[in-house]
A and B are shown apart, each in its own frame.
Chain A
Amino acid sequence: MRYALVTGGSGGIGKAVCRKLAQMGFPVIIHYHKNEAIAREVKEEIETAGNHAELISFDVTDTQQVKTTLEAWKEKHENDYIAVLVNNAGISKDELMVWMEKENWRSVIDTNLNSFYNVTSGLLKDMITSKFGRIINMVSLSGQKGLPGQTNYAAAKAGVIGATKALAQEVGKKKVTVNAVAPGYIRTEMTQELDEKELKRLIPVNRFGTPEEVAETVGFLASDGASYITGEVIKINGGLYT
């Protein structure tokens, strides 16, 4: 059976993506690191709706831990594989470059960029040999346009965009697609301290987006209907940056 794994499944966008993929019929593996209670709520919600969900926990920055945990999952699921991977886990630690300590640079690169390697590399072989795979990377407006105060985050997300385009060319022949979704301002924990009233004037659609609007695009990219779209970065930003 084809499973979907959503890293950072307890976060604002992650939760919406888990629900969407479950509605589409994928058994969903909800990944969390620290927010077990929220991940469990999402699982119960999906199960109440009559769909299948499982929890998995690892630190996306820990290469060995990711490998061991995913291998253990595979051992328990002999006839299944993770066909849809949504690399969604991420953090931001905004600070002007002039004040930024190395640790804030390193942790953001680790969680947003190195995690892409840690999680994706071990799942590719099954996708390639099964001749079906969907890798969807959550990037950001910041990785395309650059935003002040986010040199670390912008660098990480721009790195993932580059990796998306390269990997898409590596594995396209095996019917594995690799795309990225670049949200602008979305109503989540990450943007709760921003002033929507002020910022919405810059956005043609005149509001922040919702996690569900991002999840719709992820769902489409995961579907059979998106089989000829690969190496693409889809902006979901209300027209803020085109």
Chain B
Amino acid sequence: MSKEDVVTIVNDFLIDEFELEEEQLHPKARMKEDLDIESLDFVDIAVIIEKEFGLKVTSEQMVKIKKLEDLYNFILAHSQN
């Protein structure tokens, strides 16, 4: 899966689930401070990652995701394995 595909799927989900605007979804955007995505919101993100990319994510892996690009990179790194 290309990086563009991952970005599209993730961004569409974030826009839909958390009522974010597309222009907010800069790769450097900080999950908590800029996007207001809190720890509990990662439950929704974990479920979509599992559904769309077939990846199981642990809470330890989730806490390392600080910026949106971390999330893209996590999915890319693990889906290539």
Contacts and interface: CB of A to CB of B under 8 A. Distances in A.
Q: How large is the interface on B (under 10, 10 to 19, 20 to 34, 35 or more residues)?
A: under 10
Interface in A38-60: none
Contacts of A125: 43, 47
A contact patch SS: helix
B40 A170 contact: yes
Contacts of A128: 40, 43-44
A174 B47 CA distance: 14
Interface in B25-67: 38, 40, 43-44, 47
Contacts of A203: none
A170 B40 CA distance: 7
Interface string A172-188: 01100000000000000
B contact patch SS: helix
Contacts of B47: 125, 129
A123 to B, nearest CB: 13
A171 B39 CA distance: 11
B40 to A, nearest CB: 6
Nearest to A174: B40
Contacts of B44: 128-129
A129 B44 CA distance: 6
A173 B38 CA distance: 10
Nearest to B51: A129
A26 B47 CA distance: 25
A171 B40 CA distance: 7
A174 B41 CA distance: 9
Contacts of B40: 128, 170-171, 173-174
Interface string A124-163: 1100110000000000000000000000000000000000
Interface string A197-224: 0000000000000000000000000000
Nearest to A131: B44
B66 to A, nearest CB: 20
Contacts of A129: 43-44, 47
Nearest to A129: B47
A199 B47 CA distance: 52
14 contacts: A124-B43, A125-B43, A125-B47, A128-B40, A128-B43, A128-B44, A129-B43, A129-B44, A129-B47, A170-B40, A173-B38, A173-B40, A174-B40, A174-B43
Interface of A: 124-125, 128-129, 170-171, 173-174
- Kindly list the 5 A-B residue pairs having the minimum CB-CB distance in the complex, ordered from nearest: A128-B43, A129-B47, A129-B44, A125-B43, A170-B40
